[in-house]
Structure 1
């Protein structure tokens, strides 16, 4: 069975100084440039083609494919990911939090985002403020969807058809609102892979996170959608989801940030 595997990255870093400049809560998802290059080499060696994310709304009909995505809009998306992708002739989707652009230290400016779009990368939304949609009243959640889309489109001059939900949190009504606003593909943080083929409008895609500690062997397993690896990841994801439901998003995220900060 053909598989579509969507990989989720955040920041890349080169050297200790860049790593320490990343917010401590984000460091568990920061990947070194050397590791990223090795992962791209693994995909090539395993014969796993990297698909253009722009094809997602139209469906992907080939054999096993990988889609590369980056969340948040960290400056390393432009500084490190872009040149390495172009060198290999690859395309990726960059989901930017519109209020982070220019305004938050260590993140892209609109020139960076526009250049990535001009060079063939897909630019999508990651919300306006990065607030979790399932914590917000319906009107505020819709504003997050609308305002981020409108701002990005205004700066890059292209339609925004895809969104990555901040924190992977969403409700069915957020998907419904997004469809009405013109989004066609939604990205979650649920772990999984998909059959290759035409995706229905409004599909919520599962993704697989690449973390700071992802080894080459583990990367091969997750990129290949190894059934054993997926089973373990789903069990762990289910346990985390249960804890999050019990604690609520706010307390769960505060606990996560405290643990990540201590680890960093």
Structure 2
């Protein structure tokens, strides 16, 4: 059965300076709890999959306890270049998340746009970062999440060549069983409940479908122009 995937970033009070535009991806605790409660109201087979990007410390301090209270599991995509830095997850946190039944995935090394990487950049973002996260978490890393949701045909070829079994994007919609590309809806602080509900089911509003379709085609069909 096709299922939606919703993606979180930071949760709760913002502890650090944010990049331009990043603030809208931080949910306050009330918003986060409300989203999880809506998920719990859905039939188990219809519930969206949950993911977290960037490896913020709020993943373990704020998100994990709320997930545990509801018996929910998630996939956490971390950055090797921020591992152990202030405000970000460390190796012990990754192992704690794994012990709680969550998955660990790759978000790269430095949170950079993967389009146009040279050979050295590819090695750092895909190979070296993966090894660091595997050593830190004690698990095999088989899934990757694309930073900024930006990719093109070349990035997809590189990820296939690197052996990732699933690649998570920010293209909205639903994930089909066995899909390699997994579209997600990123939740924002500014979203109202109507939009959040559409994300939980993977329904793309009718007026947004042509734009989404064009964007996805550009990313997947053109080599480096998306």
Same fold by TM (over 0.5)?
Answer: yes
Tell me if structure 1 keeps the 8 A contact 2:47–2:200: no
Q: Assess if the C-alpha contact under 8 Å between 1:141 and 1:174 holds in 2.
A: no
* Bigger mean CA deviation after superposition, 175-184 or 90-99: 175-184
Equivalent residues of 2:172, 2:199 under 8 A apart: no
Deviation of the 1:112 alpha carbon = 1.3
**1:169/1:226 CA distance change after superposition, 3 Å:** closer
Aligned to 1:224: 201
**Are 2:9 and 1:32 aligned?**
no
- Assess if the C-alpha contact under 8 Å between 2:4 and 2:174 holds in 1: yes
Q: CA RMSD in A?
A: 2.6
Residue 210 of structure 1 is aligned with which of 160, 170, 187? 187
Q: Out of 14, 23, 32, which is 1:19 matched to?
A: 14
Q: Structure 2 length normalisation: TM-score?
A: 0.86
Correspondence for 2:117: 136
Match of 2:158 in 1: 177
Pairwise CA distance, 1:173 = 3.3
Distance, in Å, in 1 between the alignment partners of 2:210 and 2:29 is: 30
For 2:121 and 2:19, locate their aligned partners in 1 and report how far apart those are by CA, in whole Å: 28
CA distance in 1, matches of 2:114, 2:202: 29
Deviation string 1:160-196 (CA, Å, 9 cap, x unpaired) is: 010001112223333333333331000111122133x
Shift of 1:233: 4.1
Q: Name which of 28, 31, 42 aligns with 1:46.
A: 42
- Higher relative helix content: 1
Shift of 1:24: 4.8
Q: Which runs of 5+ in 1 are unaligned?
A: 50-62, 250-264
- Of residues 92, 101, 104, the one that matches 2:74 is 92
Farther off after superposition, 72-81 or 138-147: 138-147
User: What is the aligned length?
Assistant: 220
Q: Is 1:186 equivalent to 2:167 in the alignment?
A: yes
2:97 alignment partner, SS class:
helix
| Runs (5+) with no aligned partner, structure 2 | 217-221
Q: CA deviation at 1:108?
A: 1.6
* Alpha-carbon distance in 1 for matches of 2:17, 2:61: 14
Asked whether the 8 Å contact 1:191–1:234 carries over to 2, the reply is no
Match of 2:105, SS? strand
Q: How far apart, CA to CA, are the structure 1 residues paired with 2:211 and 2:26?
A: 20
Aligned equivalent of 2:3? 4
Which of residues 47, 64, 75 in structure 2 aligns to 1:82?
Answer: 64
1:239 Cα deviation after fit: 8.5
The Cα of 1:122 is off from its aligned counterpart by 0.4
